[in-house]
């Protein structure tokens, strides 16, 4: 089984590295990217084979589409025509292209098993949260292949496609919001006199530990919040300040904005 990657950017590279750590054979992984420097770097680092054209990618059994949505839009008909001329079509397409529905993908990859997948940047550290859905041509065999590949990056869960915009916002975009929160905590600590590198480390570990508490506890997150807030104490003052300044509303608005853009990209 040959795995072909169209795109060697951050996410494509992270998936390939995860596959290798998970025991996939580097000799069976092939990649093409317009950027020769990206190809050379990934090939040297991972020992996978560089391809010379998009056509060679589509000669593989399993094809992972890891390019930007605008690039897919621009090359939609070219790819469709390219595939139609192949003596043997790929057996399975996996798309991590943001915003592109199974219906959109099926217009390019006709009557073929397709998986739509959304993972996140935390794949680079093996801590990704990944969601997927499948078209009507995909079987349990293809589903297992998707879970085998993406479980090497973190956790993976099936998601109904009509919830994909929400999932994309919560899992795909929220790491950026988390980084902003960590940096805001660190900057506040700098104001209090702690050096930025140490402040960032403290903030990141605190957020990491708090996330572990949510995952390991059967308590609601707000119950955990209440546990930290002593009556007339310091923490409750900070919580009330965040609520007064619209902390939760800001998060809701950010998620709404992501979902709106996701729909725009999907056409």
Model pLDDT for residues 76-98, shown as the tens digit of each residue = 999 999 888 888 877 999 999 99
Average pLDDT, rounded, for the chain: 95
Confidence tier at 248 by pLDDT (50, 70, 90): very high
Antiparallel, parallel or unpaired: β 3-6 and 92-95? unpaired
Distance of alpha carbon 128 from alpha carbon 46, whole angstroms:
20
Distance of alpha carbon 33 from alpha carbon 57, whole angstroms:
10
Q: Where are the beta strands (DSSP E) in the chain?
A: 3-6, 29-32, 49-50, 62-65, 92-95, 114-118, 128-134, 154-158
Q: Which residues of the chain form CATH 3.40.50.720?
A: 3-159
Position 110 pLDDT exceeds 70: yes
Could you tell me which CATH number the domain at 3-159 has? 3.40.50.720
Distance of alpha carbon 49 from alpha carbon 36, whole angstroms:
13
- In angstroms, how far is CA 123 from the centroid of its own chain? 7
CATH architecture of 167-266: Orthogonal Bundle (1.10)
Model pLDDT for residues 118-158, shown as the tens digit of each residue = 999 999 999 999 999 999 999 999 999 999 999 999 999 99
N residues, the chain: 267
Confidence tier at 234 by pLDDT (50, 70, 90): very high
CA geometry: angle at 255 spanning 253 and 256, to 5°?
Answer: 60
DSSP-derived secondary structure letter, 60? S
Over range 41-50, report the average pLDDT. Answer: 93
Dihedral of the alpha carbons of 146, 153, 219, 211, in degrees to the nearest 10: -150
């Amino acid at each position: 089984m040959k795995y072909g990657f169209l795109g060697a950017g951050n996410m494509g590279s992270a998936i390939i590295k995860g596959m290798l750590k998970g025991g996939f054979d580097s000799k069976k992984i092939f990649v093409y990217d317009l950027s020769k420097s990206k190809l050379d770097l990934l090939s040297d680092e991972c020992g996978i084979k560089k391809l010379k054209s998009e056509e060679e990618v589509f000669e593989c059994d399993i094809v992972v589409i890891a390019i930007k949505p605008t690039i897919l839009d621009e090359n939609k008909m070219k790819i469709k025509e390219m595939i139609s001329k192949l003596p043997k079509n790929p057996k399975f397409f996996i798309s991590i292209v943001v915003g592109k529905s199974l219906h959109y993908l099926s217009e390019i990859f006709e009557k073929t098993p397709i998986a739509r997948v959304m993972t996140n940047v935390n794949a680079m550290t093996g801590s990704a949260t990944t969601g997927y859905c499948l078209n009507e041509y995909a079987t349990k065999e293809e589903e297992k292949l998707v879970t085998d590949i993406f479980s090497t990056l973190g956790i993976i869960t099936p998601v109904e496609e009509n919830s994909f915009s929400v999932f994309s916002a919560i899992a795909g975009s929220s790491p950026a919001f988390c980084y902003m929160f960590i940096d805001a905590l660190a900057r506040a600590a700098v104001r209090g006199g702690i050096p930025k590198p140490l402040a960032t480390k403290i903030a990141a570990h605190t957020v990491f530990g708090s996330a572990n508490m949510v995952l390991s506890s059967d308590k609601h997150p707000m119950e955990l919040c209440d546990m930290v807030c002593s009556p007339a104490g310091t923490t409750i003052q900070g919580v009330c300040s965040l609520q007064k300044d619209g902390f939760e509303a800001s998060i809701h608005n950010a998620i709404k904005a992501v979902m709106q853009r996701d729909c725009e990209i999907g056409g």
